[in-house]
Amino acid sequence: MEITTGVHQFKLPIPAATLAEAGKMVGETNVYLVRGENGWLLLDAGWDDPRNLRILEKELDAININFRDISQIVITHFHYDHFGLAAKLKKLSGAALVLHKKEHAFIESMGEKAEQTLRESRSWLLRNGTPEKELPDISFATELGRPDLLFSGGERISTGLFNFEVLWTPGHSPGHICLYEREKKLLFSGDHMLGEITPEVGTSPLQYDNPLADYLSCLKNLRELEVELVLPAHGSAFAHFRRRTDELIEHHQNRKDNILEILKNGTMNAYEIAARMRWIPQAGGIGWDKLDALNRRLALLETWAHLRLLQEEGKVRTFTRNGCSYYSS
């Protein structure tokens, strides 16, 4: 649909989300097509799935354009539900492919080095308390396609009708970006800010030292912008920009307080701490025993991100015992 003048939103399914009840909370990726004078800008590409290519082709046909009318493909971040189709869409359209330089490093980790990344990820999960039976045994090996331009943050993109500022917003991933249209007061927030759920923070522990510190800092900086409509990568568009910013900051403070309360019971690893918390608050709070292995991994990663910030703040200390990382207050 044309969600605002000159901006069309397509909802592309995430096949893996159907595997878990909790995953249905993010069952689709919002991909945006922005009108330009010399070609359209596509923001994100969706999961690499034949059905999504058919959906895109049908939706483009409905507004009387085709893939060759797309001149730019901008990727908000290097997660599979955002970049998966990028290589194929680049070939179909001939469009320039652009993402942040810090996300570019993930091309090898998710492409030709996917098996090595899987081994390193399994090792990290073991060090943080994950039982062997819950370790992942598959990886999403893919080819992104060579980017034509790498952002650093602060660049401007003009379509002739829209003038975007590229905002580097690390946290959800090291090179996550948002696009801000100052005159129209539009913010394309990717996964940095979502209306119905809290974005995952901590998904890149092998490449990222303190993601939650960066995420909260970016939220506070973004709060100063004039925004009338937020267009996120999942869920519905929303107008309560500053209120949502405050809600997200409060959520993470509550998580930190919860972890400190749990650590009053003694030394634990990150998995043990995560298992004592409740997850997916938008579903009323789900206990550890109700989470599948994928969502347990995501919960563990987010717990680690909070522990890392608490360590930086001097409220938590960490040490290694028998090859496993432990935390105490």
Q: What is the pLDDT of residues 278-296, one digit of tens each?
A: 998 777 788 899 998 888 9
Of the candidates 327, 220, 210, the residue with the CA atom closest to the CA atom of residue 268: 327
Distance from C-alpha of 86 to C-alpha of 89, rounded to nearest angstrom: 5
Cβ pair 171, 218 in contact under 8 A:
yes
- Most distant CA pair in the chain, distance: 63
Least confident of 31-35, 268-272, 277-281: 277-281
CATH 1.10.10.10 fits 252-328, yes or no: yes
Tell me what the mean pLDDT of segment 301-327 comes to: 95
Q: Which residue has the higher pLDDT, 14 or 212?
A: 212
pLDDT, mean of residues 233-262: 96
What tens digit of pLDDT does each residue of 51-77 get?
999 999 999 999 999 999 999 999 999
Assess contact for 130 and 300: CB atoms under 8 A.
yes
Q: Say which amino acid occupies 259.
A: I
Q: What is the mean pLDDT of the chain?
A: 91
Structure-token pair, residue 159: 């379509």
Mean pLDDT of 260-265: 97
Among all chains, which residue has been given the structure tokens 């909370």?
25
Q: For position 16, what pLDDT does the model report?
A: 64
What is the pLDDT, as a whole number, of residue 111? 64
Return the domain boundaries, the chain.
2-249, 252-328
- Give residue 18's pLDDT band: very low, low, confident or very high (50, 70, 90): very low
The stretch 146-165 carries a mean pLDDT of 94
For the whole model, what pTM was predicted? 0.92
Q: 36-40, 221-225, 270-274, 283-287: which range is least confident on average?
A: 283-287
The tens digit of pLDDT for each residue in 109-154 reads 666 677 787 888 899 999 999 999 988 876 655 666 788 999 999 9
Report pLDDT for 99: 94
Percent of the chain with pLDDT over 90: 73
Alpha helices in the chain (DSSP H): 50-62, 80-83, 86-93, 101-104, 106-110, 114-127, 211-222, 241-262, 270-274, 293-312
CATH, range 2-249: 3.60.15.10
Q: 97's torsion region: left (phi>0), alpha (psi -120 to 50) or beta? A: beta
